């Protein structure tokens, strides 16, 4: 997939270790997320998240990317292509800086992401949000996702699985 297809408005590139401080700032602007979905964000957690992939996947399948307005990190995405199967993309995280929320920017970016995934041949997207986080639940429902009925117990929270066809 071409990262330029992930947004018509923002510059998109892979996030690297030198972006840790910007990622931390964006993450800390979203305390509600971490209230429901531990662990608390730290630099080591960020560096781990940059590289971790599910079993049988490689770093080539991982899209840990940032959306930039000039030098400002506006949003970030952690996505695994062709997971958990060949027709699905799994969104591990999509987060928008709190200063940019409530303006339709997250929905606009995610719409572009969905178009790029569809163009790449994928058929659906799955993700999970932490039970009780109404902000996340509302965002994903607004963006066409539905609850699959699957819930998984994670350390410190219950994950509600959602999906959407492309």
Residue 157 pLDDT more than 90? Answer: yes
| Cα maximum dimension of the chain | 40
Q: Does residue 79 contact residue 63 with C-beta atoms inside 8 Å?
A: yes
For the entire predicted model, the pTM comes to: 0.94
Give residues with Cβ within 8 angstroms of 28, minimum separation 6. 41
Sign of CA dihedral 46, 137, 35, 106: positive
The 10s digit of each residue's pLDDT in 85-136 is: 999 999 999 999 999 999 999 999 999 999 999 999 999 999 999 999 999 9
Distance in angstroms (rounded) separating the CA atoms of residues 111 and 113: 5
Best CA proximity match to 10, nearest among 96, 88, 85, 83: 96
Give residues with Cβ within 8 angstroms of 132, minimum separation 6. 36, 157
Distance in angstroms (rounded) separating the CA atoms of residues 27 and 95: 8
Distance in angstroms (rounded) separating the CA atoms of residues 98 and 94: 12
Residue 40 pLDDT more than 90? Answer: no
In this prediction, what percent of the chain has a pLDDT beyond 70?
Answer: 100
Give residues with Cβ within 8 angstroms of 70, minimum separation 6. none
Structural domains of the chain sorted by starting position, each given as residue range(s) with its CATH number in brackets: 3-165 (3.40.630.30)
In this prediction, what percent of the chain has a pLDDT beyond 90?
Answer: 98
- pLDDT at position 38 is 87
The H or E element that residue 33 is part of is helix 31-36
The 10s digit of each residue's pLDDT in 6-34 is: 999 999 999 999 999 999 999 999 999 99
- pLDDT at position 39 is 85
By DSSP bridging, strand 157-165 and strand 146-154 are: antiparallel
């Amino acid at each position: 997939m071409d990262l330029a297809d992930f947004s018509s408005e923002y510059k998109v590139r892979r996030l690297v270790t030198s972006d840790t401080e910007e990622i931390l700032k964006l993450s800390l602007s979203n305390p509600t997320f971490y209230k429901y979905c531990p662990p608390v964000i730290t630099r080591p957690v960020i560096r781990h998240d940059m590289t971790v992939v599910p079993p049988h996947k490689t770093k080539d399948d991982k899209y840990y990317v940032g959306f930039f307005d000039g030098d400002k990190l506006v949003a970030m995405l952690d996505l695994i292509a062709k997971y958990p199967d060949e027709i699905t993309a799994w969104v591990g995280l999509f987060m928008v800086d709190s200063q940019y929320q409530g303006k339709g920017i997250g929905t606009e970016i995610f719409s572009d992401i969905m178009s790029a995934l569809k163009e790449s041949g994928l058929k659906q997207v799955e993700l999970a949000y932490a039970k009780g986080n109404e902000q996340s639940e509302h965002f994903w429902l607004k963006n066409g996702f539905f609850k699959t009925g699957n819930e998984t117990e994670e350390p410190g929270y219950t994950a509600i699985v959602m999906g959407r066809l492309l």
